[in-house]
Amino acid sequence: MLRRSATGWRQPVAEGVLEGRVALVTGASRGIGRAAALALAAQGASVAVGYGSNADAAGEVAELVLGFGVSSVTLGADLSDAEQAATLVPRTVEALGRIDVVVNNAGLARDNLAMRMSDADWRAVIDVDLTAAFVVCRAALRPLLRQRWGRIINVSSISGVMGNPGQANYSAAKAGLIGLTKSLAREVGSRSITVNAVAPGFIETDMTTTLDAALRGRVVEAIPMERMGTAEEVAAAIAFLASPQASYITGHVLHVDGGMGS
């Protein structure tokens, strides 16, 4: 089935298992967030495209979302500021009428050995990767509890499961997301709200393209599947956890890592 966007661009639309639902995806202007926004739109969800600074890239994603015959809006916010993070849910509801799915994907990395890591770099990563996710979850819980249905998917990392040298801040934040996920799942499961996490391994994104050839080779050697993953493969896991087919899965951490964490 073909649908026309506001600009006339056309794209096939998948059967809408999320038809009528609204999703908020943070960090959706690129990488995993971009792929997740499109995967959810392909299932029929309207999408609020959260972004930090690249309004043009977010606008491009929103235009692609429109190509699936659903609605979209771009929402800019500095997630290092908890007050700005807290506005994303009410702004989504104001623009798109409701909220059903939350994907906390936004994150940053400021790597260094622990003994050389500054307080500022520690706080920056914790603020964006963990605190902002909590603030968004907290804001979403009221409307989700009221409607007795919802999906929250937090994007953690294999670094939060196994740890990684030079990433004490990032690993701590991503491990914190797993704890947040499991706790919220127990709090809201009786209201048909599921809370899950995905833990990507090494994925072909902007964060991994800067690896030098030697390090990249060592990384790939450590992956049983002998390749890096794609943003679309992570997005497929996110879309599944958002779907009705995942209605009895909650408090789970789904590894999308080519076997690294096995």
Residue 3 counted as domain residue: no
Global model pTM greater than 0.85: yes
Residue 2 pLDDT level (bands cut at 50, 70, 90): very low
Residue 116 counted as domain residue: yes
CA distance 1 to 13: 6
Strand pairing partners for 151? 101, 194
For 30, the domain range is 15-253
pLDDT of residue 206: 72
Residue 111 counted as domain residue: yes
Residue 193 counted as domain residue: yes
Residue 30 counted as domain residue: yes
Mean per-residue pLDDT, 154-183: 96
Q: Given the residues 170, 172, 229, 242, select the one marked as catalytic.
A: 170
Q: What is the pLDDT of residues 206-241, one digit of tens each?
A: 766 666 677 778 888 888 988 999 999 999 999 999
SS3 content of the chain, % helix, strand, coil (to 5): 45, 20, 35
Q: What is the pLDDT of residues 112-133, one digit of tens each?
A: 999 999 999 999 999 999 999 9
Instruction: Assess whether pLDDT exceeds 50 at residue 187.
Output: yes
Residue-wise burial string across 126-154, b where 16 or more C-beta atoms lie within 10 A, e elsewhere:
bbbbbbbbbbbbebbbebbbeeebbbbbb
Domain at 123, CATH number: 3.40.50.720
Number of structural domains found in the chain = 1
Residue 4 counted as domain residue: no
Residue 130 counted as domain residue: yes
pLDDT of residue 4: 37
Q: What is the pLDDT of residues 193-202, one digit of tens each?
A: 999 999 999 9
Q: What is the pLDDT of residues 90-107, one digit of tens each?
A: 999 999 999 999 999 999
CA distance 140 to 194: 12
Concerning whether 248 is annotated as a catalytic residue, the answer is no
CA distance 127 to 229: 27
Residue 260 counted as domain residue: no
Token pair recorded at residue 98: 């409701």
Q: How far from 26 is each of 14, 168, 192, 195, 259, CA to CA, in Å? A: 23, 23, 23, 16, 26
Residue 247 pLDDT level (bands cut at 50, 70, 90): very high
